[in-house]
Structure 1
Amino acid sequence: MRTVAPHEETASGNIKATRQDWIDLARQTLVSQGVESVRVLPLGQKLGVSRSSFYWYFKSRQDLLAQLLEDWRNTNTRAIVERAQRPADTIIRAVMNVFECWADERLFDPRLDFGIREWARRSASVRDAIEQADAERLAAIREMYRRHGYGEADAVIRARVLYYTQIGYYVLDVNEPMEARLGHLAAYLRSFTGQEPSPSDVAHFSDFASRAEERSRL
């Protein structure tokens, strides 16, 4: 008998929504309407399923919200940490690994991050989760600089400048076309590393960002 993966499970033969369907819709609702709109009955109506579908996968609304937080950790925070920990020949290439998160929303969803931060204004426990995530992301970036020979104080400040600059872009909702940002890429890399990127470095990341933007349009 084939084992059913958790994301493929359904509550019964006539209930078509999966656990991931609930989480995906909860995420979309959080991003577009805020956490107060993440409620069982409206979500079920949008999915076209009964409440029994929800309780097949979740104990309560609070359980769904907890799973939504975990989903956010497993996407946004994991992507930054993984990219910061990737081997790289130079600090320029290491920083560009992290930049991949800003260029490809499949890796890091800025709207989800903003939605979680808005939720944190109303919840002390979510505020704690945000602080933990920020600390984890910053620590990974700091260690990236340390591996490439920067002293502790320099690594800490460069990590803050890199990370807070990007989060500031999202919070301020800066609407800058990718083409414009890529035009400043060499200057950003100089600012974040103190080193001069080569033309091949700039071309390498520009190609990645262009392909990511093309995928987002499909």
Structure 2
Amino acid sequence: MKKQRANDSGWRGSPEVWFQAAIEILLESGVDAVKISTLAKRLNISRTSFYWFFADREELLSALVDAWKDKNTGSIITQSEAYADSLAEATLNVFDCWLDDTLFDSRFEFAIRSWSLQSREIQSEVKQADAIRLESLSRMFSRFGFSDLQADVHARTIYLVQIGYISMQTKESLADRMIRIPDYVKTFTGEYPKQNELERFYYRHGYKNNASS
């Protein structure tokens, strides 16, 4: 990404403006729609201005992949390594990703995985991300005494269920999702979360559990 000159922010836009427009179009219409002419039309900026910030379309597409990895893969790693007193609490930390778009963007995930169906290069990126994410989840289970095989199987159970949610574009209300959370944790870990662990989780996501109040 080219460095923007201090006095050239006006009609050319900025790297962030072009990049944000690219993300929006990717999420709306897929990678084939992420074209310089389409971006310029959306932003009402000359298409030649694009080249002030990016060498070509491929550089922009590479930046999109990097952003996806930094956000979605990075957050799973961070959440799986977050402090927890129990495996149930550690799992709830990971569940934060599925409920907080600032940590993990499911639409971005779907768009990248759809893109991978037509690009071997992106397919390779997705496979690498899957492996990294599964390894981080396996390490989480290993911290709580699971064998390597057990940790791998539990990690796959959590991860593949969520990727299924994304691939099927499953829609649930927050209340429906939250009602299922304790039993998801039990299914994935073998233990229910403690009430205080659940309450902290509910609070983080703005959910009021009337049954426990």
Q: TM-score, normalised by structure 1?
A: 0.89
AA matched with 2:161: T
1:73 is paired with a residue whose SS is helix
- Stretch moving more, 187-196 or 115-124: 187-196
1:99 aligns with 2:95: yes
Match of 2:81 in 1: 85
Alignment of 1:31-42 (within 5 A): 31-42=27-38
Asked if structure 2 preserves the Cα contact closer than 8 Å seen for 1:40 and 1:54, the reply is: yes
Distance in 2 (CA, whole Å) between partners of 1:74 and 1:11 is: 30
Deviation of 1:199 (Å):
1.3
Distance in 1 (CA, whole Å) between partners of 2:4 and 2:16 is: 8
Asked if structure 2 preserves the Cα contact closer than 8 Å seen for 1:30 and 1:115, the reply is: yes
1:88 is paired with a residue whose SS is coil
Distance in 1 (CA, whole Å) between partners of 2:4 and 2:171 is: 38
Distance in 1 (CA, whole Å) between partners of 2:7 and 2:82 is: 40
Match of 1:48 in 2: 44
Distance in 1 (CA, whole Å) between partners of 2:30 and 2:110 is: 10
1:198 aligns with 2:194: yes
Asked if structure 2 preserves the Cα contact closer than 8 Å seen for 1:79 and 1:101, the reply is: yes
Residue among 12, 21, 27 paired with 2:8: 12
1:138 aligns with 2:134: yes
AA matched with 1:144: M
Match of 1:21 in 2: 17
AA matched with 2:134: L
Distance in 1 (CA, whole Å) between partners of 2:110 and 2:102 is: 15
Identity %: 32
Alignment of 1:152-163 (within 5 A): 152-163=148-159
Q: Number of residues paired by the alignment?
A: 206
Deviation of 1:14 (Å):
3.4
> Structure 2, unaligned stretches of length 5 or more?
208-213
1:158 is paired with a residue whose SS is helix
> Structure 1, unaligned stretches of length 5 or more?
1-5, 212-218
Asked if structure 1 preserves the Cα contact closer than 8 Å seen for 2:12 and 2:46, the reply is: no
Deviation of 1:51 (Å):
2.3
Change in Cα spacing, 1:160 to 1:38, as seen in structure 2 (3 Å) is same
**Which deviations, in whole Å up to 9, do the C-alpha atoms of 1:87-116 show, x marking residues without a partner?**
211111111111110010111110110000
Distance in 1 (CA, whole Å) between partners of 2:41 and 2:14 is: 14
